[in-house]
Amino acid sequence: MSSEKTPLITVKNIFFTISLFCMVGCASQPSTSAKPHHTHNGFRNSYLSKDNTFWDFLKWRWDVFFKKRPGPESYQFEMAENDLRFLRDNKHETTMTWIGHATVLLQLGGKNILTDPLFSQRSSPVQWAGPKRVVPPGISMENLPPIHMVFISHDHYDALDEPSVLQLFNRQGGKDTIFFVPLGLKKWFSKRGIARVVEMDWWENKVLENFSITAVPVQHWSKRNLLSKNRTLWAGWVIEAHDFRFFFSGDSGYCPHFNQIGKKFGKIDLAAIPIGAYEPRWFMAKYHISPEESVKVHQDIRASKSVGIHWGTFMLTDEPLDEPPERLARAAEKAGLDQDEFIVLKHGQTIMPINN
């Protein structure tokens, strides 16, 4: 558990905060579509009249410097033992393994699928500074089975990690991996020599072999450098195969999109929903759901079973790293959910929702 420590304020900390907004990266081409969430130079949220500003970000970071809170070294999380041979050989069972943060290994219809792959030591544009991993990946890159599909939710460094993407691409068989990305991100992959990329808008659907894949709207934002805010789209994903429907939300604030998703699809068999990175609410509420809101999302999308993700791996926001599961459990009980209806996993833990 945790003990009170005050993080040191160093020049390195301050430099890293500024560098997140000054790194030179790839800005996408402006959107020319007449769709409401499209603008003349990018994209916008459907239910927000005003985004957070750069000055809001600086105020939050300034407040953090003067808060007493446990550092990452104060936390210890037990990791699960997984059956790597089974996961490598599995062609029939539908499974989900939480690797850490928003990275999930889904095995469905004989395919191995990753969401927001992040295997690096830091969630950062550089590996010498920035939020450091508290828990190793639940499955290392070397021990992953062959990956057939990868789903990216948005372009932030904890969702689109360049070293991890390149490692996946350069693995044996990696050239055959298909990357599904929101609008505007295909160019980023093309610049790195990755051609098998499917770029999709909200509510767009693609059929691949026995899979039906839909990009769905969520409430977030995008930015990889100072000049690229909202130049690429953000999205959640619904993946369907063999009468099984999986929902990966990516990052989002609570909004009517989730009820729309529930009405469109009728039922979600398994969902991966964030439960962490929600404090302080004055800054995070627009873009990150709290555990209590995660339960609402579970209900809105009509999920049979949900797993909490996006917590306990990197210290990105102000809440204690071990707080989200406790708040989720209270919220689920208050909402009258069954005990195993909305669960959290250990890093590396595998569940088998159904048998095919």
Share of the chain above pLDDT 90, in %: 77
Classify domain 11-354 at the CATH superfamily level: Ribonuclease Z/Hydroxyacylglutathione hydrolase-like (3.60.15.10)
CB 122 within 8 A of CB 136: no
d(CA 281, CA 295): 17
d(CA 130, CA 128): 7
Report the pLDDT value the prediction gives residue 21, as an integer from 0 to 100.
37
Which letter does DSSP use for residue 218 in this model?
Answer: -
Report the pLDDT value the prediction gives residue 72, as an integer from 0 to 100.
75
CB 222 within 8 A of CB 231: yes
Note the pLDDT tens digit of each residue in 70-117: 777 778 899 999 999 999 999 999 999 999 999 999 999 999 999 999
Q: pTM of the prediction?
A: 0.89
Report the pLDDT value the prediction gives residue 12, as an integer from 0 to 100.
38
